[in-house]
Amino acid sequence: MPFLALQVLGATAAQAQSQDAKTDEAARTSDQGLGDIVVTAQRRTEDLQRAALSITAVSGDKVIERGVTQVEQLATLAPGLQVNTSAGPYASFSIRSVSSLSGNAFADSAVAMNYDGVYLATPTILNGLYYDLERVEILKGPQGTLYGRNATAGAINVIPRKPEFTTGGDANLQVGNLGRFNIGGAINVAAKDTVAVRFAGQHVRRDGFMSDGTSDDNGDAVRGSILIEPTPDLSILMMADYSHQGGRGPGATIRKECAKIGLTGGACFVADPYTGIADLASEYTSVGEAPPTQNQFIDGDYGGALLNIDYRTAIGTLTFLGAYREAESAYVGTGTSWQLRETQKPRQTSGELRLASDGGGALQYVFGLYYLSTTMDSRSQSESLNNKRFSDSFTHNEGWTWATFSQLTYSVSDVLRLTGGLRYTYEQKKTNSQRYNLLNTVGPDPVIPDTPSGVPTIDMNLKKSWDAVNWKAGIEFDAAPESLLYANVSTGFKAGGFYYGPPGANTYEPEHVTSYAIGSKNRFANDRIELNIEGYYLDYTDQQVSFVKLVGPGSVVLVTENAGKTTAYGVDVDSQFLLGRDTRIGLSGSWVHARYDQFDYDTVAPPSSTTLCTVGPPFPFNVDCSGLQPFRTPEWTVTGTFDQSFDLADGGRVFMDALGQYKSAFYADTSYQIETLTNESFRANFGLGYEDPQRRYRIRAFVDNAFDEVTISNATVNTAYSQNNIVGVNLLAPRTYGIQASANF
């Protein structure tokens, strides 16, 4: 009822506003208000306020201002988006209670990450992308019709700046504590009237904020692109990029039940929260386990190329997008609280052919064909502390998928539109993979043989395929010139897959979701107030849940199991207020109520007695977490922003900005035990700067996490918990501060 009341109130206010349309138009001429944002979230160009779905769009300038250089920092851009890292270059996403733990070569994300329209199929190749951007679009909720595979939670579009037919450039610099030194920029050259070239790059350095040097930031990236427009109707874009990620990688510290270390309370850090695993060796050696390695590292090279051809015809724009991407990376990490080692080489080739209408006429449409082929070669070792040995996995995966899709919008009248979408997807996966045990091989720095050792404990030679039809139906109504009401029903599909396990316990089935959404997008008071709100209900069948569990003596496996049934509902709100020409306030929030209607699993090592799950009798133990909130899902996330500027007599400008984000507590692991309960948090960032009269350069002093909040982002129960009582905890950065400077030329 409150949601419907807000919609009615918004529509009523907008109707009243339309009575003064002439006055409003005059005001817009002298004052642009909040301004328009153009997005391509629905595979065609449109105003953000006219797109009938929940989208957060952040400009490239804001991405730089907020210091986003790593994938986990994307979570600062939109409430309700969780991004976690714990092992090497892997990234795990969560939106609206849907989460997938990415941790080995079989992993698929539940959020479709797209780089300039190219879907990135592997969760380890998302680094070195966040510079010289046009914008980042975050789409919440399943996007099965237009984005297809692995978009059951949503989609993120990272859109780099394209060449322009002008000559110029920009540069930016950031220095700060923890040895921060970032430098980047771009040069754009108009070679002739029909050819433009752009080169961009960045160099990023920041020391680790954990005591052992982990959780650092070390990367370099370059991108080159050429835009050719031989005729007004033909556009050809070619782009290639390369990035390198180095440093120590994600770090962790240790959390235990307070009573087990002589303290009061529920869960306590065993030392200063920013004490890294490598500096907590006694927590391992005191129970006869090998000490952690001191030699964590990441060494990854990532790159690719794309060709995008747009040809404008009488019936719409015909687009071909072809791309190839590959990576070669290695890491040794203890971000989970035990040692993981891996070398990995993923490769992908994709192609998409799409026809989109030009925005005129009663019928708007998108038709498309899509193809993706992937290959993954990986060798990884995982430490078994109890047995003083490592597993040794040789993984070779191949897969391909194709799809055909369409989405149509028909204007029944000037104010009423109907939308329908349909997508057919076929996906095939196969694996030829073996897992061995390296006996009598212990840390901290084991000697790994060049070739397989002994007889495989797991031998997988599997091939499976799946297909699905996804659809969308919606209605849009213009309650007033700047008030959109909409409702839609859509479905999503994520294919099944494999994980290391014995025959009959090494595959999982597809997940399916049906989403019901109702929303409203509004501008009031001469474009000075924006209020967007969407309520949703998600019905999941066989939702895929990935987690680490002990499945046999000395066999620790990252499994993916189907959770049976999950339901979630909630509300997303995004609002902005232009109080004056120089004063802007933003307030956005996400509330989600989600429950596993059915989720239980068998394990030989159950959670501790503090778990919220019900643990059945041995052997094996059945752990039933039905009725609980999905892990990594804060119920509340609220973000507020404030921007204020003051004009100086010479035309220069002093500006200040602030951002605060609150998240409620949540469990970060399927064990649901007390050490994995994150604290509620509030993090605040502040900035103060100056911009010259010609708007050619600006300088800004900043402090992020100004109140030095210790914020837990992730937690993982150690595989030898029954002996060492260790839970590995990943943290967000402590207080950081510095100076940003940028210039245009």
pLDDT(14) > 80:
no
The amino acid at residue 439 is: L
pLDDT(172) > 80:
yes
For position 624, what pLDDT does the model report? 94
CA dihedral sign of residues 20, 23, 24, 25:
positive
pLDDT(354) > 60:
yes
pLDDT(649) > 70:
yes
Cα separation, 643 vs 717, whole angstroms: 41
Cα separation, 357 vs 435, whole angstroms: 51
pLDDT in tens, 450-459: 999 889 999 9
pLDDT in tens, 665-709: 999 999 999 999 999 999 999 999 999 999 999 999 999 999 999
CB atoms within 10 A of CB 4: 11
Instruction: Give phi and psi for 724, each to the nearest 5.
Output: -110, -10
Instruction: Give phi and psi for 722, each to the nearest 5.
Output: -65, -20
Average pLDDT, the chain: 90
- Per the CB < 8 A criterion, the answer to whether 506 and 460 are in contact is yes
For position 24, what pLDDT does the model report? 36
Q: pTM (2 decimals)?
A: 0.91
Nearby residues of 135 by Cβ (< 8 Å), 6 or more positions away? 37, 39, 57, 58, 59, 60, 159
- Per the CB < 8 A criterion, the answer to whether 297 and 319 are in contact is no
Kindly report the length of the chain. Answer: 745
CA dihedral sign of residues 489, 358, 575, 99:
positive
DSSP assigned state of 37: -
How many CA atoms within 13 Å lie on the side-chain side of 175?
2
pLDDT in tens, 426-453: 999 999 999 999 988 888 999 999 999 8
Can you read off the two tokens belonging to residue 154?
């949503």
Mean pLDDT, range 268-279, rounded to an integer: 97
Residue 55 to residues 77, 552, 595: CA-CA distances in angstroms? 11, 44, 24
Mean pLDDT, range 94-110, rounded to an integer: 81
Return the ∠ at Cα 209 (arms to 204 and 211), rounded to 5°. 135
pLDDT in tens, 284-306: 999 999 999 999 999 999 999 99
Mean pLDDT, range 547-576, rounded to an integer: 83
Radius of gyration of the chain from its Cα atoms, rounded to whole angstroms: 26
Mean pLDDT, range 651-662, rounded to an integer: 96
Q: Which contiguous run of DSSP H or E holds residue 5?
A: helix 2-18
Helix, strand, coil percentages in the chain from 3-state DSSP, rounded to 5: 10, 55, 35
For position 10, what pLDDT does the model report? 40
pLDDT(20) > 60:
no
Cα separation, 679 vs 653, whole angstroms: 39
- Per the CB < 8 A criterion, the answer to whether 327 and 317 are in contact is no
What domains, with CATH codes, occur in the chain? 2-413+421-445+452-744 (2.40.170.20)
Q: Which contiguous run of DSSP H or E holds residue 62?
A: helix 60-65
pLDDT(553) > 70:
no
Can you read off the two tokens belonging to residue 8?
């009615």
Strands 111-115 and 154-160 come out as: parallel
For position 143, what pLDDT does the model report? 84
For position 28, what pLDDT does the model report? 34
Residue 511 to residues 142, 255, 544, 660: CA-CA distances in angstroms? 12, 33, 6, 35
Q: What percent of the chain has pLDDT over 90?
A: 72
Strands 168-176 and 180-192 come out as: antiparallel
DSSP 618-637: SSSEEEE-TTSPPTT--SEE
pLDDT(184) > 60:
yes
Q: Where are the alpha helices (DSSP H) in 275-375?
A: 282-285
For position 283, what pLDDT does the model report? 97
DSSP 495-522: --EE-S-STTSSEE--EEEEEEEEEEEE
pLDDT(577) > 90:
yes
The amino acid at residue 535 is: G
How far is the first Cα of the chain from the last one, in angstroms, to the nearest whole number?
A: 53
Return the ∠ at Cα 428 (arms to 423 and 433), rounded to 5°. 150
Cα separation, 300 vs 113, whole angstroms: 19
pLDDT in tens, 225-256: 999 999 999 999 999 999 999 999 999 999 99
Helix (H, G, I), strand (E, B) or coil at 381: strand
Which of these ranges, 13-27, 114-128, 455-469, 715-729, has the smallest mean pLDDT? 13-27
Mean pLDDT, range 325-350, rounded to an integer: 96
pLDDT(15) > 50:
no
